[in-house]
Amino acid sequence: MYVVLSGGVGAARLLTGITRAVPPDHVLAIANVGDDLNLFGLHISPDIDTILYTTAGQVSRERGWGLTGESWQAMEMLSSYQGTAWFNLGDRDLGTHLHRTQRLAEGATLATVTAELAKAWNLRFGLTPVTNDRLRTMVSTVDEGEISFQEYFVRRQHSVPVTSVRFEGADDAEPAPGVIDAIEQAERVIIAPSNPVVSIDPVLAVPGIRAAVERRRNDTIAVSPIIGGKALKGPADRLMVEMGHESSVVGIAKWYQSLASSLVIDTVDAEHASAIASLDVKPIVMPTVMSYPGVTDGLARAVCGEG
Amino acid sequence: MYVVLSGGVGAARLLTGITRAVPPDHVLAIANVGDDLNLFGLHISPDIDTILYTTAGQVSRERGWGLTGESWQAMEMLSSYQGTAWFNLGDRDLGTHLHRTQRLAEGATLATVTAELAKAWNLRFGLTPVTNDRLRTMVSTVDEGEISFQEYFVRRQHSVPVTSVRFEGADDAEPAPGVIDAIEQAERVIIAPSNPVVSIDPVLAVPGIRAAVERRRNDTIAVSPIIGGKALKGPADRLMVEMGHESSVVGIAKWYQSLASSLVIDTVDAEHASAIASLDVKPIVMPTVMSYPGVTDGLARAVCGEG
C-alpha cells in the first residue's frame, strides 16, 4: 500500500502520477477535511473534490480549478439576490455538494460518501477523509480575529497576515476507518506537496495520525511544496514565515523532520541538499513542477521508489 | 387591501391579473408552505417560488413550470451519482434555494427572506408565507402509509390513492406577522383557484386563520379550481372525492361554505349555479381558464369587485 497524505491541487496532481506508477488499488489518499465548509446548508469538501475531479481528468484546463463544462447559473441567480457569492460554486459542482449533503443527512459517513463519489468517477484508488468527524481549520488574523479557512483563503484571497492556525474539533476527532492501519502497513507513506500549515497539519492533528506517521519515519517521504523559496500556488510560503519557519526547502525539512526520512526538492533548490542531509533527512533532487509533461510521472515514480 | 390565499400555479396566474386590476401595493398574497421541503440540506418553498417566478414573468412557457433560460447541470451530476433525482431542480432555481437556505441559517424568518426575494424580482405586491414556522402537508396513502406532500405530488405524480391528509406542525404554528391583521382589514379576501385539500387547507390550518376568514365571509370570494368536474392541473378532483366530497363546483361551494359568500365558477358549470345559490353562496359565472388571453384579467377584476 502507498498512503498519500493529501491536500488539494498538488496532492491531486501527484496522485494522478502515482496511480500510473503503481497499481491504483494499492494507493490510498488520506485527505484533509480542515477546508470543509457548510455554506447554503451544503457540506462542501474542497480538497476531496479537487482530488476527485483532477484524478478523473475533469478539471478545467483554462481555469486550473473546478470542472470542465461548468456553468454558473446558480451563482448568477444568487448574485441577483445580493447573496453570499464569495465562494464560487459551479452548477455541475453543486451536484456533488447536493449529493454529499443528502447522503450525510441520511446518516452516511463522510468516508462512505467519498467512496461512493470516487466510484461514480471511476477512480481506481482509495480516497478517504482523514476523519468522519467535524474538523475545521481556523485562522487567526491580525485585522479580523479568527476566521474560517475558506474565509481566509477564498474570501480574503489569503492576503491578510496570520498569527496562528488551529484545528477546531481535532481533539475529539477519530481517524476514519482503516486510516491508522493503512499508515502502519504501508510500503511507503507519501506527504504530498500540499500546504504544510493548513493542508497537511490538519491531517496530522487527528489523534493518532501524527504518531503513526512518526513510527513510519523510515518509510515516509515528503515532497516540498516550496520551490525556490516560494509556493507554486497559495499561501504556503507566507504561512511558513508567519508560523516562525523559513520559507525554503530547509524550512520544510525541519517542519517534517520527525515524520519523513526523505524529502524531494526541486532542482532549483539543489544547493540546499547538504543542509537538508544534515537534518538527518535524505534530499532527493529532481524536477517537481507538475505542470510540465513527464514531471508528474517522474516524481510519482520517485516517491513510490519505482524510479 | 386585497388578500389572496394562495397555492401555486393557479394562484400565481390570478395574482398576475389582480396586480393589473388593482394597485399592486394594495395586494397581499398569503402563501401555502405545506409543500415546502428540505432536500439536499436546502429549504425549498415551491408555492412561493411559483408565485415569484410567474408574477415576474419568468416561468418557462414551454414547460409551464420553472424558470426561463433554465439549465440542469446540477441535476445531471446528481444523476451520475445515482442520487435523489425525483425532484427537479434547475440551476437557476437552485440559486433561489441556496440563498433562502443561507438566509434562514443566518436567522432570517421565512417571511423576511420571501420579502427579500420578492424585492429582488421587482414584485410590487406583498408576498408572505402564512407562517414562519414549520408546517408540512403529510399524505396518507393506501400502499405506502404516510408520505410527504412532494413525495406524493412529484415522486408518485399524485397517482396513488389517498386516505387522509394532515398538516404536521400546524397546531404549533403562528401566523406570520401581519397576516391576521391583513385578513381582518381587507376590502376583499380572495381564495385562489388552488387545490382546496392540499394548498388552501394548510393555509387555513394555521391557528387563527380559518376563524379570521370566517369572520370576513361576507367579503370573501373563492374561485373554483374544479371546472366541469375536473381539476385543470393536479389532483384536486381526486383528492376532493377521496376526502368524501364531490368533485364539482357544488363540492367546492360546500367545502368553502363557511368561509366564502361568493364562488366564481366557469361558464361550463353554469347549470350548477342554482345549487350553489341554495347553499347561501353567490355563484358568479364566467370564463376561468387562465391560459386564454383576457380571461385572467376578467377574472381578476371580478374577484376584486372591479368588474
Nearest to A95 among B42, B76, B102 (CB): B76
**pLDDT of amino acid B88:** 87
Contact B50/B35 with Cβ under 8 angstroms? no
Nearest to A81 among B77, B80, B120 (CB): B120
Give SS3 for A30.
Answer: strand
Q: What are phi and psi of B30, to 5 degrees?
A: -105, 110
**pLDDT of amino acid A56:** 96
Are residues A102 and B41, on separate chains, in Cβ contact within 8 Å? yes
Best probe of the B interface among A68, A73, A103, by most B CBs < 10 A, is A73
Nearest to B101 among A40, A77, A117 (CB): A40
Q: Which chain A residues have a beta carbon less than 8 Å from that of B42?
A: 40-42, 98
Are residues B81 and A120, on separate chains, in Cβ contact within 8 Å? yes
Are residues B91 and A71, on separate chains, in Cβ contact within 8 Å? yes
Q: Which chain A residues have a beta carbon less than 8 Å from that of B116?
A: 81
Query: How many angstroms separate the CA of residue B206 from the nearest CA in chain A?
Result: 27
Q: Which chain B residues have a beta carbon less than 8 Å from that of A42?
A: 40-42, 98
pLDDT digits (tens, 9 = 90+) for B158-193: 989 999 999 999 999 999 999 999 999 999 999 999
Are residues A82 and B120, on separate chains, in Cβ contact within 8 Å? yes
Q: Which chain B residues have a beta carbon less than 8 Å from that of A101?
A: 40-41
Query: Given pLDDT bands bounded at 50, 70 and 90, which one contains residue A87?
Result: confident
Q: Considering only alpha carbons, which residue of chain A is nearest residue B83?
A: A99
Query: Given pLDDT bands bounded at 50, 70 and 90, which one contains residue A267?
Result: very high
Domains of chain B: 2-64+99-133+169-303 (3.40.50.10680)
Average pLDDT, chain B: 95
pLDDT digits (tens, 9 = 90+) for A41-67: 999 999 999 999 999 999 988 887 889
Query: How many angstroms separate the CA of residue A84 from the nearest CA in chain B?
Result: 7
pLDDT at B138 over 80: yes
**pLDDT of amino acid A293:** 75
Contacts 24+ apart (CB under 8 A), B72-75: B73/A69, B73/A70, B73/A71, B73/A73, B73/A90, B73/A91, B73/A92, B73/A94, B73/A95, B74/A74, B74/A91, B74/A92, B74/A94, B74/A95, B74/A98, B75/A95
Query: Which residues of B sit within 8 Å Cβ distance of A?
Result: 39-43, 69-71, 73-78, 80-84, 89-99, 101-103, 105, 116-117, 120
Are residues B95 and A105, on separate chains, in Cβ contact within 8 Å? no
Rounded Cα gap, residues B88 and B77, in angstroms: 13
Contact B275/B250 with Cβ under 8 angstroms? yes
Amino acid type, B94: L
Kindly state the percentage of chain B with pLDDT values over 70. 100
**pLDDT of amino acid A226:** 98
Are residues B73 and A81, on separate chains, in Cβ contact within 8 Å? no
Are residues B120 and A73, on separate chains, in Cβ contact within 8 Å? no
pLDDT digits (tens, 9 = 90+) for A162-216: 999 999 999 999 999 999 999 999 999 999 999 999 999 999 999 999 999 999 9
Query: Which residues of A sit within 8 Å Cβ distance of B?
Result: 39-43, 69-71, 73-78, 80-84, 89-99, 101-103, 105, 116-117, 120
Contact A220/A226 with Cβ under 8 angstroms? no
**pLDDT of amino acid B307:** 65
Q: Considering only alpha carbons, which residue of chain B is nearest residue A90?
A: B74
Average pLDDT, chain A: 95
Query: Given pLDDT bands bounded at 50, 70 and 90, which one contains residue A307?
Result: low
Query: How many contiguous H segments (helices) and E segments (strands) does chain A have?
Result: 13, 14
Query: Could you tell me how many CB contacts below 8 A there are between chain A and chain B?
Result: 129
**pLDDT of amino acid A62:** 82
Query: How many angstroms separate the CA of residue A57 from the nearest CA in chain B?
Result: 16
Query: How many angstroms separate the CA of residue B98 from the nearest CA in chain A?
Result: 5
Amino acid type, A131: T
Query: Given pLDDT bands bounded at 50, 70 and 90, which one contains residue A88?
Result: confident
User: Which tops the pLDDT comparison, A32 or A293?
Assistant: A32
Best probe of the A interface among B79, B81, B101, by most A CBs < 10 A, is B81
**pLDDT of amino acid A277:** 98
Nearest to B74 among A74, A84, A105 (CB): A74
Give SS3 for A36.
Answer: coil
Nearest to B42 among A41, A77, A81 (CB): A41
Best probe of the A interface among B40, B100, B119, by most A CBs < 10 A, is B40
**pLDDT of amino acid A83:** 83
Rounded Cα gap, residues B89 and B91, in angstroms: 7
Query: How many angstroms separate the CA of residue A123 from the nearest CA in chain B?
Result: 13
pLDDT digits (tens, 9 = 90+) for B66-115: 899 999 999 999 999 988 888 889 999 999 999 999 999 999 999 999 99
Strand pairing report for A262-265 and A282-285: parallel
Task: Extract the runs of DSSP E, i.e. beta strands, from chain A.
Answer: 2-6, 27-31, 37-39, 42-44, 126-129, 136-141, 145-148, 162-168, 188-191, 220-223, 226-227, 230-231, 262-265, 282-285
Q: Could you tell me the pTM of the whole model?
A: 0.92
Contact A167/A135 with Cβ under 8 angstroms? yes
Contact B227/B289 with Cβ under 8 angstroms? yes
Kindly state the percentage of chain B with pLDDT values over 90. 91
